């Protein structure tokens, strides 16, 4: 179905959930519960007048807002600008999908942006409130690259940063953490590029180790191939833990699914299990998963409010369920 043929009013009426806010466009939600309240760290979409391209130049975001609500279905508060690109010394443009974490009285805000050389790196900013404002470190995390940082706090007190995205996210230009513009995506029959992970240092401002690539496997234990674009990793890493198992979820990008894989370590390997969310309106799909009062929720976005403008998206949330074997039940974003 072409975007021109979509009845957006009818589509919004059939949607699984409605936008959490409508006064600004928000996307790429990373959700956490801090102090008994749900905090959402999204991108802040704007229309910069840049034409759509595969490099993602039209996603020209300049700042971040923090959203919060006291319970699912509750009134959402927009806490205003938490960080602006003009206050990040090293960042030039494109404040893409962020995340946040808490440790020892400080909130840490992780975000990607392009540096003066046009390459994405990941920065970190700190604050004493989950709502911000946050003050950025003068330099990005040493050794960081690509996009979509996601922080996971394990039960043993260790924190891990997951990141990476191909195409506009530039992951295809790295091998063994080294950049070369001559590097490209693997051939169709070769293993797909995987996301990256590194344990964070005690001060949460640095990598405690060299980032390593995560292995995503099929049911036979073989690496997913580059041609398998309905299952292979594209961007939007997220990790959560359910009943002692690690669940790594991600976007497949050009095939528009949110999928997940499971494993026994925060480093993987992770075995593909299935889809969490079917395609939404708009080219991108990006999510997080958070437990709230014993129930699990998927935070995601679509472009139904902007009537299909792919870089003007709206954050939503919907309850997730697991079966007795721990399999996540696939959500349909729009009712038939």
Residue 157, classed as helix, strand or coil, is coil
Tokens at residue 317, please? 């949330």
235: annotated active-site residue: yes
Task: With residue 14 as reference, give the H or E element that holds it.
Answer: helix 8-14
Beta-carbon contacts of 123 under 8 Å, excluding residues fewer than 6 positions away, are 88, 90, 91, 110, 111, 112, 113, 136, 137, 140, 141
Task: Tell me the C-alpha distance between 56 and 171, whole Å.
Answer: 14
Task: Tell me the C-alpha distance between 91 and 14, whole Å.
Answer: 40
Task: Tell me the C-alpha distance between 80 and 67, whole Å.
Answer: 8
- Among candidate residues 28, 99, 148, 302, the one labeled active-site is 28
Given a contact cutoff of 8 angstroms between Cβ atoms, the answer to whether 287 and 313 are in contact is: no
State the CB neighbour count (10 A cutoff) for residue 143: 14
Q: Does 269 sit behind a cis peptide bond, omega within 30 degrees of 0 on the bond before it?
A: yes
Task: Tell me the C-alpha distance between 41 and 116, whole Å.
Answer: 25
28: annotated active-site residue: yes
Tokens at residue 108, please? 């840490």
- Among candidate residues 99, 148, 235, 302, the one labeled active-site is 235
The residues annotated as belonging to the active site are 28, 235
């Amino acid at each position: 179905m072409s975007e021109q043929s979509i009845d957006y009013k009818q589509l919004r009426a059939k949607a699984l959930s409605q936008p959490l806010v409508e006064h600004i466009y928000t996307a790429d939600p990373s959700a956490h519960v801090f102090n008994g309240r749900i905090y959402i760290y999204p991108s802040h979409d704007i229309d910069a007048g840049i034409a759509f391209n595969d490099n993602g130049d039209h996603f020209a975001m300049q700042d971040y807002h923090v959203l919060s609500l006291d319970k699912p279905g509750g009134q959402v508060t927009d806490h205003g600008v938490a960080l602006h690109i003009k206050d990040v010394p090293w960042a030039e443009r494109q404040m893409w999908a962020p995340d946040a974490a808490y440790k020892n009285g400080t909130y840490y805000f992780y975000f990607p942006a392009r540096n003066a050389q046009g390459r994405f790196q990941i920065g970190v900013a700190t604050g004493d409130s989950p709502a911000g404002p946050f003050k950025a470190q003068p330099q990005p995390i040493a050794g960081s690259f690509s996009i979509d940082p996601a922080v996971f706090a394990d039960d043993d007190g260790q924190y891990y940063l997951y990141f990476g995205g191909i195409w506009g996210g530039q992951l295809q230009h790295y091998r063994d953490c080294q950049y070369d513009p001559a590097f490209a995506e693997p051939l169709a029959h070769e293993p797909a590029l995987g996301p990256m992970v590194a344990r964070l240092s005690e001060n949460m401002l640095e990598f405690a180790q060299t980032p390593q690539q995560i292995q995503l496997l099929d049911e036979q234990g073989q690496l997913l191939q580059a041609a398998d674009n309905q299952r292979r990793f594209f961007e939007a890493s997220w990790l959560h833990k359910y009943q002692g198992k690690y669940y790594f979820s991600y976007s497949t990008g050009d095939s528009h699914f949110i999928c997940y894989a499971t494993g026994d370590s925060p480093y993987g390997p992770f075995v593909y299990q299935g889809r969490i969310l079917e395609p939404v309106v708009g080219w991108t799909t990006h999510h997080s998963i958070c437990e709230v009062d014993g129930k699990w929720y998927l935070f995601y976005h679509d472009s139904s409010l902007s009537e299909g403008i792919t870089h003007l998206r709206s954050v939503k949330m919907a309850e997730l369920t697991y079966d007795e074997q721990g399999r996540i039940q696939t959500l349909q974003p729009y009712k038939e």
